[in-house]
Amino acid sequence: MKEDNRAAADQAAKIIPIQWDATFFFERAVRSMDRYHYDKALKYFRLAVEYEPENPVNHCNLAGILSEMGQYEESNRILVEILETLDPLMTECFFYMANNFANMEQYEKAERSLLRYLEEDEEGHYLDDAEEMMELLQYELKRPSKIVTIKARQGFAEHDQARVMLEEGKFAQAVKLLESIVESNGEFMAARNNLALAYYYMGRFDRAMEAIKQALEQEEGNLHALCNLAIFYQHANDQENLVALADQLRRMVPFHQEHVFKLATTMGILGEHECALRHFRRLLKDGSGERDASLYHYAAVAAVHSDRLAEAEQLWQQAARRDPKSDVARYYLEQLAQAREGSQKLAASYHYHLPFEEQFRMWERLPGTMPDGMKSNPLVRSSFFWALRHGDRKTKLQVIQALGLIADSEVQEALKALLLEPEEDDDLKRLALFVLRSIGVSEPVPAVLGGKRKLVGSVADSAAAADRLPDWEPVWQRVLDTAFLRMGNEYGLLQQYDLMKLWLDYLTRVYPDVPKLAKPESWSAALEYLTAKHHRRAVSYQEVAERYGASAATVSKHAKRIDEICGVKE
């Protein structure tokens, strides 16, 4: 008897109780589907719903097996119920419904459901399938579908637009767009990286460093972010962090061509030219960008800095053949020949354009103009914005003039920002105001002048003379307008500004005993003569008088009077 009891106990111990729950029936259903036993799968999915009626996934699985069995209407009824009562955020249900409607040849309804999916689904798991289905529906309906915003791709089109802005040097516009993208999609790493670069190009270094560190908190191994951080460390002369990061980058061997190119250019900028050359060779060897002259230029520069002059020559020759309209390769081939003769040392830049020194020589020869290549080059524009924030006074004067020749919305924003810098020199701000007026900004602009914030509207305001010149006479303005018109492109904005300052200084000193200006043109000519002399230009009273239709004697008289009052020669 004891043995029977023991046997019964052993038997009981071997019995494993079955846990009847939704997971159990789900697994049975999946096993039945794998064996194409759809009736059994349907039964098990229904049981899973009974055990967990509040779980929308169970209902969705049930709708799925019904669709597989051709019961499309019942499947859609369940999908609608999920969206209306269980989980409105389960937007993939719209995609499943579109499939069911398409199988029932109800193409209008299928299109409406598919558009809802594209508009509302954030994840985009079925995005490729949805786009294929849209092509099918367009064929069946014999018309294009309504254009919608694809939520799963929200930010991608905007990001492409922001990248174009960066390439065009429209940094302020790019920042605004990238900030909005990052705010709505914090995991968009490319947008975070480009936002950091946009800040950097504008000279907002602290914001750039903050943005790149936020990107690395999001994804610590992101190669683009690490490369950007290395450039920022180099700018900040943070050698301790730069050495460690450069060593980490030196050991990396990326696979994707985009990453190889980013790493190669970064190592070149960091002065790791041997490493840069290895990566550029990889890109040239696998055919990536073999028709792109700039890639041959980058490799040539790395070769020069690695003392491989023969290789550099071959690479620049390749670049010249692929981009015959560009002067870059020809310029460096000439410099290379001179370096070999020992007449000068070759200084090669990774930037694919003529060195800034060459471009500025062209600009200085024509003070009232700027070569189109300089205006549109984002690197040139970036250097101007950098200098406006971090340069010395002389550099800032030159940059403000240059920005006046570019004269676009980016320039306006940069100059307006300068006006609000409390530590900036007032005279630089007045020049910035003058440039803003000269490029068509007519409305009053806020500025901090004399330590006080004010709205600056008129020419007199812009020279901080409003307190002493309460009335601004039209004839005074005519003197300035005539001078600016006749000076034309022969003078730069700085010379025009100096002329305006001189005129306002004279009016302020003699006010209220301003002489009657019977012939304003002669006063304009006198102002140009004095301005030209101040800037060491060879000019005579006769020459200036003829251009203004005035007598040399009158121009001389006015010039001497202005000099007596203002002490120009002193």
Whether 139 and 180 share a structural domain: no
Q: Do 171 and 227 lie in a common domain?
A: yes
**What's this model's pTM, rounded to 2 decimal places?**
0.52
Q: What pLDDT band is residue 21 in, cutting at 50, 70 and 90?
A: low
Q: Which of 366, 444, 360, 373 is nearest to 399 (CA)?
A: 360
Most confident option among 11-20, 30-39, 270-279: 270-279
Query: What mean pLDDT is reported for the chain?
Result: 80
Report the pLDDT value the prediction gives residue 16, as an integer from 0 to 100: 47
pLDDT at 356 over 80: no
Q: Which of 13-22, 172-181, 389-398, 525-534 is the least confident region?
A: 13-22
CB neighbours of residue 149 within 10 Å:
9
pLDDT tens figures, 471-529: 678 888 888 888 888 887 677 777 888 888 888 888 888 888 888 888 899 999 999 89
More confident residue, 122 or 545: 545
Q: Where are the alpha helices (H) located in 366-441, listed in sequence order?
A: 372-376, 378-390, 393-406, 409-419, 426-438
- 235 vs 209, 238, 389, 535, CA distance in Å? 11, 8, 14, 35
CATH number of the domain to which 549 belongs? 1.10.472.10
**pLDDT band per the 50, 70, 90 thresholds, residue 326:** confident
Residues 487 and 543 in one domain: yes
Confidence of residue 153 (pLDDT cuts 50, 70, 90): low
Same domain, 449 and 559: no
**Could you tell me if 126 and 168 lie in one domain?**
no
Highest mean pLDDT of the ranges 416-420, 458-462, 552-556? 552-556
The pLDDT assigned to 351 comes to 73
* pLDDT in the model for residue 61: 83
Percentage of the chain lying above the pLDDT 90 cut: 21
Last residue of a domain, one of 153, 178, 213: 153
List for the chain the helix, strand, coil content (%; round to 5): 70, 0, 30
Give the other-Cβ count within 10 Å of 504's Cβ: 22
Q: At which of 153, 168, 198 does a domain end? A: 153
Q: Is residue 333 part of a domain?
A: yes
Within this chain, do residues 432 and 488 fall inside the same structural domain, yes or no?
no
CA distance 541 to 482: 17
Residues 370 and 487 in one domain: no
The answer to the question of residue 544 being in a domain is yes
pLDDT over 60 (residue 1): no
In a domain, 466, yes or no: no
Total of domains in the chain: 4
Q: Which residues of 398-411 are buried (b: 16+ CB within 10 A; e: fewer)?
A: bbbbbbbbbbeebb
What was the pLDDT predicted at 465? 46
- 135 and 282 in a single domain? The answer is no
Establish if 429 belongs to a structural domain.
yes
Question: Which CATH number goes with the domain that contains 211?
Answer: 1.25.40.10
State the residue for tokens 């004399």. 450
Average pLDDT over residues 293-315: 90
Helix H or strand E encompassing 143: none
Reduced to 3 states (helix: H, G, I; strand: E, B; else coil), residue 424 is: coil
User: Which residue in the block uniquely carries the two structure tokens 């059994």?
Assistant: 40
Per-residue confidence (pLDDT) for residue 149, from 0 to 100: 64
Regarding whether 500 and 451 lie in a shared domain, the answer is no
Flag whether 114 is in a domain. yes
Question: What digits encode the pLDDT tens for the residues 192-216?
Answer: 999 999 888 888 889 999 999 999 9
CA 317, 319, 322, 327 torsion-angle sign: negative
In a domain, 3, yes or no: no
Q: Which of 325-329, 409-413, 499-503, 546-550 has the highest mean predicted lDDT (pLDDT)?
A: 546-550
Report which DSSP code applies to 449: E
Share of the chain above pLDDT 70, in %: 82
User: What is the span of the domain harbouring residue 490?
Assistant: 474-566
